[in-house]
Amino acid sequence: MIWREILKKLANSRDWTSSKLLCEKFNISRTAVWKHINYLEEKGFIIDSQPKRGYKLVFPKDTILALDEDSFEGQSFGKDIFHFISIDSTNAYAHQISDKVREGALVLTEQQTAGRGRKGRSWFSPFGKNIYFSIILKPDLNLTVLTRLTIVIGVSVAEALSKFKINVKLKWPNDIMIGHKKVGGILSELYSEGEVARYVILGVGINIHSEGYDFPEELRDIAGSIYSTTGARIDRCRLIIEIIKIFEEKYYSFISKDGDIEDIAKVWDEIAYGKDREIMITTGTGKQKGKIVGLKSDGALLANIDGVLKEIYAGEILI
Ligand code: BTN
């Protein structure tokens, strides 16, 4: 698609890109260039144009559509990429293509119109500001250990963010927190036939540039972005590359250890949200006050509730 090639060229040039250069590079007319630029603008990109100088990408400067297969250096992740300006949900799309793609295929978008959160919730997914992607995995492991992948990717996201000097906490099972604001979440979906997993889709959403006031009112007190909570501006492409790099390494180590996450659980323990105080947990049996003790090596939350150590497999930390 030429519009994506043009967008990539604009994203990778700091300065103006002349219309002449785009015509020559893509072997198209000036009118065709102009039509592609118009298409991008209609979709929400802001592109400055000046007759003598050409075009310049104004928003979003760090468009994730500039990422391509060469951006990822690992063994196999990111070798197949499906890009969208807007899509209902990257997880939903990943589900449609999973049987036909290789392990490590990525679905990336600038916007979701029906972004999915956990527990049937929706995920706030405006254009151009945040990260929304899904990765397709085909692990040949017992079903029971696969839910642990949520922890593996959560720790990978935290580690990747720390490379940008952003320290987050992980709220069990998979919320990415800065202070008391949720800045990201992970939706893992497992498709199996009987006892055999066909594929696992891990969907990652991280609020990067959204301003506090961008969030719908009902989310303002509980959700934030990297920018709104820390003032830092992170390049979304660089962060995705870092997450995939770290996750790929941890994923293959997880596979080689038959799903053991002892090392990862140790890291998780260090950055667990709410460890220092009393928290409220919802479990099958209702709401209970307790203290987080750590993560069991099978991914369960260990909590001290009324002096009794409990393993929690399904539930949520409320505060
Ligand atoms: C949560 O509720 O905390 C999980 C949110 C997961 C959101 C991401 S955004 C990319 C991927 N596609 C979706 O529809 N959801 C996940």
What pTM was estimated for this model as a whole?
0.96
pLDDT at 278: 86
What ligand 1 atom has the least distance to the C-alpha of 90? 12
Q: Which residues pair with 199 in a beta bridge?
A: 191
What ligand 1 atom has the least distance to the C-alpha of 112? 14
pLDDT at 196: 82
Tens place of pLDDT per residue across the chain (319 aa): 899 999 999 999 989 999 999 999 999 999 999 999 999 999 999 999 999 999 999 999 999 999 999 999 887 999 999 999 999 999 999 999 999 999 999 999 999 999 999 989 999 999 999 999 999 999 999 888 998 999 999 999 999 999 999 999 999 988 999 999 999 999 999 999 888 889 999 999 999 999 999 999 999 999 999 999 999 999 999 999 999 999 999 999 999 999 999 999 999 999 999 887 888 888 777 888 999 998 988 888 999 888 889 898 888 888 7
Cα–Cα dist 258/154, whole Å = 19
Q: Of the residues 135, 204, 244, which should be mutated to test ligand 1's pocket, given the most ligand atoms within 8 Å of the CB?
A: 204
pLDDT at 217: 95
Residues in Cβ contact with 189 at an 8 Å cutoff, skipping those fewer than 6 apart: 91, 95, 200, 201, 203
- How far the first Cα of the chain sits from its last, in Å, is 46
Q: Give distance in angstroms: CA of 208 to centre of ligand 1.
A: 14
Pocket of ligand 1, beta carbon within 6 A: 89-91, 112, 115-118, 121, 123, 132-134, 175, 185-187, 203-205
Q: Give distance in angstroms: CA of 288 to centre of ligand 1.
A: 27
The pLDDT tens digits for 24-59 are: 999 999 999 999 999 999 999 999 999 999 999 999
Tell me the HSE value of 141 on the side-chain side, using a 13 A CA sphere. 21
Which residue's CA is the closest to the ligand 1 atom numbered 9? Answer: 205
Q: Give distance in angstroms: CA of 53 to centre of ligand 1.
A: 40
Assess contact for 111 and 126: CB atoms under 8 A.
yes
DSSP conformational letter for 300: P
Q: Give distance in angstroms: CA of 118 to centre of ligand 1.
A: 7
pLDDT at 276: 76
Ramachandran quadrant class, 14 (left: phi over 0; alpha: psi -120 to 50; beta: rest): alpha
Ramachandran quadrant class, 54 (left: phi over 0; alpha: psi -120 to 50; beta: rest): left
272 backbone dihedrals φ, ψ, rounded to 5° = -70, 135
Ramachandran quadrant class, 104 (left: phi over 0; alpha: psi -120 to 50; beta: rest): left
Q: Give distance in angstroms: CA of 176 to centre of ligand 1.
A: 12
Q: Which amino acid is at 116?
A: R
| Beta-sheet strand order (sheet of 196-206) | 81-84, 106-109, 131-137, 196-206, 181-193, 175-178, 169-171
